[in-house]
Amino acid sequence: MSLNNGWRFYRIANDLFDPILLGTSKTCGALESHLASFVQIVDLPHDFIVEGNFTKHANEAHGYLPYAMGCYYFNFSLPQSARGKSVSLEFEGVQRNSTTWLNDAYLGNHPSGYTPFRFDLAESALKFGSVNALSVFVDATHPDGWWYDGGGIYRNVWLHIVDRLHVVPWGVYLPAEVTSPISGAGTADARLSAETTVVNTYNATTTFALETLIKTSGGTVVGNGAANLTCTLQASENCTLAEDIVLRGAQLWSLSRPHLYYAHSYLRTEDGVLRDAVVNSFGVRRLRWDHDKGFFLNEESVKIHGVANHQDFAGVGVAVPDSLQAYRVWKMKQMGANAWRTAHNPPCQALLEQCDAQGMLVWDENHRNRASPDMLGDLRSMLLRDRNHPSVILWSLCNEILCEDFDADTAQVLRGIVKELDPRGQRPITAAVNGGYGGAFPEVLDVMGINYHIKEYDDFHQKHPKQPIIGSEIASDFSDRSIYSNDSTKKMYVSAYDLNAPNWGNTAEDAWCALLDREFMAGGFIWVGFDYKGEPTPYTWPNINSHAGATDIAGFPKDNYYYWQSVFFSAIERPMVHVFPHWNWNLQHEQPCEGACMEADAVSGVRVIDVWAYTNGAAVELILNGESFGRRLVTNACRHVNWKVPFQAGTLEARAFHNSSDHNVFAVEKVWTTGSAAVLNLRVEWPLDACIHANGDDVTLVTVQITDSSGAFVPTSSNFLIRFELSGPGKIIGLGNGDPSSHEADKPHSPWKGWRTAWNGLARVVIQSTNSPGNITLSASHAKLHAANITVQSRRRCPKLQRSVV
């Protein structure tokens, strides 16, 4: 049962509260009467840090948002029928250092902000047929990362009511091994070595039988577990039942066809009563890592086109609704990414489910290389929860300084736990290592992860010729959307030309060329897919978020997004060409030309624009107003082509060809000089069918565009503060525009009204459904622009449109 809706929350400023007061005598619940007039009603997931105001005096790395503490309150009722059952409370993630009470009785503390935790609730602590009062104290004042990690109950909360004989949480292990040659249709025989752990919390001995059925998504049974598999348990005992299940002609899980199976586990006692039933998804695939050839999935060579990502998104901070994870994975797949690194912590469950469903490989990352009881508990939680996900192909012990001076002895302890809990998962152990490549730590790893340091690739391979290597973090190039001049004095923007990188990183082109030239490199994870709050390198205030993303924080692509698309997709998979910059250089008052331009003639003042194109073709021709500026050959598959073009208002067109003499154009892109900003345009980017489920969680992402009177997008239009109003069974939960120097609130004035300035022609509105169906209408207005509105359908059930199509 979801406990996500209707919490009461009070934010506590650091200097006004002493957490020592929250001992056994005074809980958040006991203090609620003193805070009642200040409490706000919130739904989960909830990030209360993103609701604050940006201030220059807050921490730069955390996005200049003040970190604080808070109290959460929730009341729930239990029916009398729950008496005699096993009742537990599950938190998927609280950021961070949370303490929980039920009916003023202390349940426990959980310091980590990244891992799930659960409390088994004693029957004596519960009230049946009446209200139970839950309170949670959250202390986010000591964040555990050097990036924005937010604060609050930012993942789901569940109340579980099951029989006292039940499968333990994460108690079904489903490793599948391919046992026959793989057919051209992507099928093979497989053996599923299922293990099911059951606990008896009755006060008496209980005998039960386990039945396991393997089904397709359509419900067809394709495999059966062992017959008459029984176990007798004393009170408070558990047992693990193992069985091998043969799957004939199994559909393999792959990037293009991510086929999932479902294990249905049934527990019945001797009287025939069904005591528990659980369903777990899994996939059948073969993983192989080669020290000379890289990574193989189902015996096909796959170059890892990876993206590393933090957790936050425009408007919502780290409190990303489950359904928004579907968009994030889809957006990276549209770029051509095939792998996701969960930097630098275990992800939420919904992200892994989407990677399973959409065919995205996952580097699953533990937070710290530390052997304290809490940290080892976090590692165990990650492994037990995530080990059935076919998308997970690597277990990472840690990243950089979180590797604790690359302590090899501690890493060996962690390695032992991985091998204990996932002995047949085919997943090697890795870590994201930045320096220290000659020590003992790399010897603990099955696959070496190198952060940046492209000059180390050859040296490490020569010294460790039998160890596979991957670029665990590459590039970290800086750019901002529709900006073509570095501005280090005012707004602190970075040019979108791929020319800017930190001293520890590389431009996108240099980073990918280093991998493309080396077959032994399995691939790499770019830093990063999406911009995120915090770490505004190379600048500081007024920047409040990063510049390294392929998209901005609102999901709008930068020019480098199309660079990655050009090298991640082949011309057969997705023929493409992208030309930039925009062609509005006649509007000098809207954007400076420095950086993109140079004066060709001091007398005439004619501007010459540096025009770049990305393509997965072999040649590109550039045409301005019908005049060709020649065809450029792509002499290196990981490099751009460019021209110096005297500016002339009109249409700039890039045509891509398969070879230098080909006359058949296979991809075209145009940019043109627009008129002045005149019209607001709204469109639904996600979901693709503009229909969301009336379940209180599903979201739609609306793109706000400013166009001229003819409907052409104006990429240089900014400083238009747009008013939004919503009607129908939905609510605005976030606003954004991708501007790394915007200090406007991410949250709306109310669930039905908000304001946001468009930046370089774009803004984002995040709308969430309620539990009621109906039409949700968003309207956008500005005094100088023609208004717009759009309607999204919220239904009990939406048509089955495949949301993950690439």
Where exactly are the structural domains of the chain? 7-161, 167-282, 293-567, 578-672, 679-795
Same fold across 578-672 and 679-795: yes
CATH of 7-161, one of 2.60.120.260, 3.40.190.10, 3.30.450.20, 3.30.429.10: 2.60.120.260
End-to-end CA, the chain:
34
Question: What fold, for 167-282?
Answer: Immunoglobulin-like (2.60.40)
- H or E, element range at 565: helix 559-568
Q: What is the pLDDT of residue 232?
A: 97
SS3 144: coil
- Separate counts of helices (H) and strands (E) for the chain: 9, 46
pLDDT at 587: 59
Cis peptide before 305 (omega within 30 of 0): no
Residue 35 DSSP label: H
- How do beta strands 157-162 and 105-110 pair? unpaired
Strands 339-342 and 304-309, how do they pair?
Answer: parallel
Structure confidence at residue 591 (pLDDT):
58
Give all strands (DSSP E) within 179-260, no chain letters: 187-200, 206-215, 221-224, 229-233, 238-251
Chunk the chain into consecutive blocks of 10 residues (it has 806) and report each block's average pLDDT, rounded to whole numbers: 95 59 56 74 97 96 95 95 97 96 94 97 95 95 92 98 98 98 97 98 97 97 93 97 98 98 98 97 98 98 99 98 97 99 98 98 97 96 99 98 93 98 96 90 97 97 98 98 91 95 97 96 98 97 97 99 98 97 76 66 77 97 97 94 95 93 92 97 95 95 98 95 98 98 96 98 98 98 98 89 43
Residue 201 is encoded by which pair of tokens? 């919390």
Q: What is the pLDDT of residue 25?
A: 39
Q: Are 212 and 245 in contact (CB under 8 A)?
A: yes
pLDDT of amino acid 488: 87
Beta bridge partners of 730: 769
**CATH code, residues 578-672:** 2.60.40.10
Is the Cβ–Cβ distance between 622 and 632 less than 8 Å? Answer: yes
Q: pTM for the full model?
A: 0.96
Q: Which CATH superfamily is domain 293-567 in?
A: Glycosidases (3.20.20.80)
pLDDT of residue 798: 87
Task: Supply the mean pLDDT for the chain.
Answer: 94
Alpha carbon separation from 203 to 124, 165, 267, 268 (Å, rounded): 15, 11, 18, 18
Residue 805's pLDDT is: 38
Q: Where does residue 711 fall: left (phi above 0), alpha (psi -120 to 50 degrees), or beta otherwise?
A: left
CATH class of this structure's domain 679-795: mainly beta
Task: Give the C-alpha distances (Å, rounded to integers) separating 733 from 319, 677, 680, 739, 775.
Answer: 10, 27, 21, 19, 17
